[in-house]
Amino acid sequence: MSKKNAKEKSKKSQQKLSTKVYEAELYKLHAELVKLQYWVQRKGHKVIVVFEGRDAAGKGGVIKRLTERVSPRVFRVAALPSPSEREKTQMYGQRYIQHFPAAGEVVLFDRSWYNRAGVERVMKFCTKDEYRRFLTDAPVFEKFIVKSGIQLIKYWFDVSMEEQERRFRARIEDPRKVWKLSPMDVESFNRWYDYSRARDDMLKATSSKHAPWHVVRANSKKSARLNCISHFLNQVPYKELSREKVVLGKRHSKDKYDDRVENVHSDFVPEEF
């Protein structure tokens, strides 16, 4: 690629997507996700998608757009809370395994066993030995996952220091988003470079041929959503399968009567809008 073309490509990637273009592209991707869903169900395919990254990098937004037009019985989201006292005594990773997919399922992990390589390391929620053992064991654990017949896809969402701060401040000021800002988020803001080092070590130690990390540039939420979903579709070897066309029949009117609900019930929700 020439310097001129590279420069034009870089400039284009920094341009803000218009809502019209974004929605048109997202519509196409949603249609493909439905095709993928049918294929996964028919073939009994099993997929795990791991979403990791900086706080406020947009992981949740991608997961929301990825799942909003497909069945929650096929695409399941696993967003686990902090481990209970009982779970803390289990083998590390055990609480994630129970959420793994059966045939015909796609499980999206909003945060995962990689908590140990990130927040647990930075905040000292685990010992140094536990952390080092995790970096050694994770690729082996993931090889077992892949050999068992589960396709494993891992994403790291990367956002700049300036963009993260802008999003954090927006959460503080927006009553709809303030719940997203946890004490751990505030701590991650203060410890930016600690998390950077944890990220660097994690990517180096746990990106493998059988389970590589895919980095999503996430300064633009719209671009990150489209790029990630498009990439995900390219990872799964699905094909459009033939389906019977849905045809609505005729309503039966043999037992026709005045079936307005107000004839049998009067307690209605006030219509204020």
Q: Which two tokens stand for residue 176?
A: 């709809």
Query: 193 in a domain, yes or no?
Result: yes
Query: 266 in a domain, yes or no?
Result: no
Query: 167 in a domain, yes or no?
Result: yes
Q: What is the pLDDT of residue 10?
A: 41
Helix (H, G, I), strand (E, B) or coil at 12: helix
**pLDDT one-digit tens code per residue, 66-84:** 999 999 999 999 999 999 9
Mean predicted lDDT score pLDDT of the chain = 93
Question: Considering only CA atoms, which of 113, 85, 88, 60 is closest in space to residue 225?
Answer: 60
Q: What is the pLDDT of residue 7?
A: 46
**pLDDT one-digit tens code per residue, 111-170:** 999 999 999 999 999 999 999 999 999 999 999 999 999 999 999 999 999 999 999 999
Q: Which two tokens stand for residue 22?
A: 């974004």
Query: 6 in a domain, yes or no?
Result: no
**pLDDT one-digit tens code per residue, 162-215:** 999 999 999 999 999 999 888 888 889 999 999 999 999 999 999 999 999 999
pTM of the predicted model, to two decimals? 0.90
Query: 11 in a domain, yes or no?
Result: no
Question: Considering only CA atoms, which of 113, 144, 137, 143 is closest in space to residue 210?
Answer: 143
Query: 269 in a domain, yes or no?
Result: no
User: In the Cβ-directed half-sphere of 10, how many Cα atoms lie within 13 Å?
Assistant: 7
Percent of the chain with pLDDT over 90: 88
- The angle that helices 19-43 and 221-235 make with each other, rounded to 10 degrees, is 30
Give the domain range for residue 204.
19-83+98-236
Q: Which two tokens stand for residue 130?
A: 């536990």
Instruction: Give the CATH number for residue 182.
Output: 3.40.50.300
Q: Are 78 and 107 a contacting pair, CB within 8 Å?
A: yes
Domain total for the chain?
A: 1
Calculate ∠ Cα 228-233-237, nearest 5°.
145
How far is 63 from 211, CA to CA, in rounded Å? 20
